[in-house]
């Protein structure tokens, strides 16, 4: 009995410590967003604001450059997610269901592309995009985002497709469905958790990406929020606007947190699919 009590207490203590460790930076950023600019300029500011203010949120929302960057982030992330998930679904289905030469090579190449450093591609992409007139445009960011998110989506979905019984698709074809109808009406609904997980991971990458966004844009026409935040400067280089940066970080983080809280079960289901057979 005492051992059970100690186990429960130890579990809760560990849980609380982990939560504090993970949430402390988030709480600190939120606290900074509620402080005035004069308070953040002071050396070693206290954890909680001396005087709570929402003026930073008003200034950020009224900033046309930030709102434009927010629209760019939503548009580019959604379009990149849509195209990546559609292509990854078709590719993963072919890899999981069909036997063809080079299937292992395709998966290996996809994994190699996913692990390739983004910084190494910035220079060549910069020159290519200026030649093709894609620099500082939405397609100029959507295409490389798709290149890096497709491999991950293919791996997630191929593992999920392998877990779906082949007999269900065969039964649909016996009932008169064409291969495309069987895929669209039987396989895709069953693979919905995996498709949803791939879409979430793709959206998160595009939403948080910084290196390509700041290297392949020059104006607010297509600059996303992470890149736009790099242009938040204060009166001098030694006094950056910490409160405004924290406020922008909170606003950008809210959509991600809401998505995770609303769809965490589907995300977990998609990530754990294929991990256990039987």
Encode pLDDT of 118-131 as tens digits: 888 898 999 999 99
Determine contact, residues 68/136, Cβ cutoff 8 Å: no
Residue 155's Cβ-side half-sphere holds a number of Cα atoms within 13 Å equal to: 18
pLDDT at 43: 63
pLDDT at 266: 65
Q: Kindly state the tokens that stand for 243.
A: 């409160």
3-state secondary structure the chain: CHHHHHHHHHHHHHHHHHHHHHHHHHHHHHHHHCCCHHHHHCCCCCCCCCCCCCHHHHHHHHCHHHHHHHHHHHHHHHHHHHHHHHHHHHHHHHHHHCCCCCHHHHHHHHHHHHHCCCHHHHHHHHHHHHHCCCCCCHHHHHHHHHHHHHHHHHHHHHHHHHHCCHHHHHHHHHCCCCHHHHHHHHHHHHCHHHHHHHHHHHHHHHHHCCHHHHHCCCCCCCCCHHHHHCCCCCCCCCCCCHHHHHHHHHHHHHHHHHHHHHCHHHHHHHHHCCCCCC
Determine contact, residues 166/251, Cβ cutoff 8 Å: no
- Residue ranges of the domains in the chain? 61-272
Point out the least confidently predicted range of 74-83, 134-143, 188-197.
188-197
pLDDT over threshold 90, residue 142: yes
* CA–CA dist 17, 5 (Å, integer): 18
C-alpha to C-alpha distances, 191 to 47, 157, 164, 198, nearest whole angstrom: 46, 8, 8, 11
**pLDDT tens per residue across span 75-96:** 999 999 999 999 998 888 888 8
* CA–CA dist 150, 162 (Å, integer): 18
* CA–CA dist 236, 10 (Å, integer): 49
Phi, psi of 72, rounded to the nearest 5 degrees = -60, -45
- 93 C-beta neighbours (distance < 10 Å), count: 21
The arithmetic mean of pLDDT across residues 257-276, rounded, is 65
C-alpha to C-alpha distances, 156 to 116, 187, 208, 215, 262, nearest whole angstrom: 18, 15, 20, 29, 20
**CATH number among 3.40.50.920, 1.10.3720.10, 3.10.290.10, 2.40.128.130, domain 61-272:** 1.10.3720.10
* CA–CA dist 199, 164 (Å, integer): 19
Q: What is the pTM of this model?
A: 0.83
The arithmetic mean of pLDDT across residues 63-71, rounded, is 92
């Amino acid at each position: 009995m005492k051992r059970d009590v100690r186990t429960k207490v130890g579990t809760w203590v560990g849980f609380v410590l982990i939560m504090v460790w993970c949430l402390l930076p988030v709480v600190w950023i939120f606290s900074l967003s509620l402080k005035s600019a004069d308070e953040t300029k002071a050396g070693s500011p206290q954890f909680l604001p001396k005087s709570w203010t929402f003026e930073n949120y008003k200034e950020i929302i009224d900033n046309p450059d930030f709102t434009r960057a927010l629209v760019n982030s939503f548009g580019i992330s959604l379009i990149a997610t849509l195209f990546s998930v559609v292509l990854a679904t078709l590719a993963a289905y072919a890899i999981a269901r069909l036997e063809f030469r080079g299937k292992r090579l395709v998966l290996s190449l996809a994994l190699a592309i996913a692990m390739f450093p983004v910084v190494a591609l910035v220079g060549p992409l910069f020159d290519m995009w200026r030649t093709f007139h894609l620099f500082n445009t939405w397609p100029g960011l959507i295409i490389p985002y798709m290149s890096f998110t497709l491999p991950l989506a293919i791996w997630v979905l191929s593992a999920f497709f392998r877990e779906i019984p082949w007999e269900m698709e065969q039964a649909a074809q016996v009932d008169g469905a064409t291969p495309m109808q069987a895929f669209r009406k039987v396989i895709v609904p069953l693979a919905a958790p995996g498709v949803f997980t791939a879409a979430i991971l793709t959206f998160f990458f595009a939403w948080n990406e910084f290196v390509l966004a700041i290297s392949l844009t020059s104006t607010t026409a297509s600059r996303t929020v992470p890149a736009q935040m790099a242009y938040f400067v204060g009166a001098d280089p030694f006094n950056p606007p910490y409160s405004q940066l924290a406020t922008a970080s909170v606003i950008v983080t809210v959509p991600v947190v809401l998505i995770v809280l609303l769809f965490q079960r589907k995300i977990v289901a998609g990530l754990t699919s294929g991990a256990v057979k039987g």
